[in-house]
Structure 1
Amino acid sequence: MPRLFTGLEIPAEISQTLSSLRGGLPGARWVDPDDYHLTLRFIGDIDGVTANEIASTLFRVNRKPFEVTLQGLSSFGGKKPRAVVASVVPSKPLIELQAELERLMQRVGLDPEGRKFTPHVTLARLRGDVSSRDVADYLSIRGYFPSKVFKAERFVLYSARASTGGGPYIVEAPYELTA
């Protein structure tokens, strides 16, 4: 069963900038820069028939390219931090694309996504022994970087290895934004 999700690829020059922020946080498992992405809709482990139905359904998306802005670092998890992320400004075209993908996934029979969409690029996953103080110290030193903007001209269907919580991620199918 493939583990699938849809997302936006991060251009190489922005990945290089983000990768320079790695290190300096004990207990962090840093994501490989080749695997940086912005998840639009996590799909999960599904059978091959459903995977094919999803892949063909995604061709229905008819949207224009749009700009994506990365702005600063933050963390997820509050007092028990789980991840360090690059924050993404939630623009109208991004939110609308994500909402359309959510509707399409429900039409093929998937349950609604349980979490509110918070656009971000995961840079590191954190083990349970990483303190919120360590994360706050890291963010105070490395949390600012000049905004980075790129044009999203396509989204992709990714597959991931099951149970590892990470890459390598494989682009299974690209979907151009050309409306």
Structure 2
Amino acid sequence: MPRLFTGLEIPPEICRTLSGLRGGLPGARWIDPENYHLTLRFIGDIDGAAANEVASVLLRVNRKPFEVTLRGLSSFGGRKPRAVVASVEPSGPLIELQAELERLMRRCGLGAEGRKFTPHITLARLRDASNQDVANYLSVRGYFPATVFTAERFVLFSSRASVGGGPYVVEDAYALGA
């Protein structure tokens, strides 16, 4: 059974910039730069027939390319930080694409996504990182100038169950263009 999700790929030059922020945080498991992505909709473990249906229904998406803006780092998890992420500004076109993908997945019989969509790129997963260590890391490396790229397609990724994310494989790509 494949584990699937839709997302945006991150351009290599931005991956290089983000990878330069790695290190200096005890308890962090850093994601390999080639696995950086922005998840739009987690689909999960599904059988081959359902995977084919998902891949087919994604062909219905007809949206224009749009700009994606990264602005600084933050952490997820509140009092128990569990990830360091690059924050992505929630623009109208990004939110609308994600909402359309959510509707299409529900039409395929998948349950609603349980979490509110907060666009981000996971850079590290945290295990036993203290709030103070995360705060110190973010105070030193958390700011970087806004970085913008144009999303010209979204993709259907597959992954193997693993610790820490990746490797991710592009199963299919869907161009954004009117």
Residue 68 in structure 1 maps to residue 57 in structure 2: no
Matches within 5 A, 1:34-113: 34-113=34-113
Q: 1:164 maps to which residue?
A: 163
| SS of match in other structure, 2:163 | coil
Report the TM-score, using the length of structure 1 for normalisation: 0.98
1:75 and 1:81 in contact (8 A); partners too: yes
Q: 2:18 maps to which residue?
A: 18
**Alpha-carbon distance in 2 for matches of 1:12, 1:165:** 20
The Cα shift of 1:166 comes to 1.1
Matches within 5 A, 1:117-132: 117-127=117-127, 129-132=128-131
Stretches of structure 1 lacking an aligned partner (at least 5 in a row): none
1:71 and 1:89 in contact (8 A); partners too: yes
User: Matched residues, percent identical?
Assistant: 79
Query: Given the superposition, is the C-alpha separation of residues 46 and 165 from structure 1 closer, same or farther in structure 2, using an over 3 Å criterion?
Result: farther
Deviation >6 Å, runs of 4+: none
Residue-by-residue CA offset, 1:117-158 (whole Å, 9 max, x unaligned): 00000000001x111111000000000001100000000000
Q: 2:141 maps to which residue?
A: 142
**Alpha-carbon distance in 2 for matches of 1:27, 1:47:** 35
User: RMSD in angstroms over aligned alpha carbons?
Assistant: 0.6
Report the TM-score, using the length of structure 2 for normalisation: 0.99
1:45 and 1:162 in contact (8 A); partners too: no
Query: Given the superposition, is the C-alpha separation of residues 164 and 47 from structure 1 closer, same or farther in structure 2, using an over 3 Å criterion?
Result: farther
- How many residues matched? 178
2:158 and 2:168 in contact (8 A); partners too: yes
**Alpha-carbon distance in 2 for matches of 1:17, 1:163:** 25
2:29 and 2:164 in contact (8 A); partners too: no
**Alpha-carbon distance in 2 for matches of 1:90, 1:103:** 18
Q: 2:152 maps to which residue?
A: 153
**Alpha-carbon distance in 2 for matches of 1:73, 1:35:** 17
**Alpha-carbon distance in 2 for matches of 1:138, 1:10:** 23
**Alpha-carbon distance in 2 for matches of 1:165, 1:57:** 29
**Alpha-carbon distance in 2 for matches of 1:65, 1:58:** 16
The Cα shift of 1:164 comes to 3.1
Q: 1:176 maps to which residue?
A: 175
1:2 and 1:162 in contact (8 A); partners too: no
Stretches of structure 2 lacking an aligned partner (at least 5 in a row): none
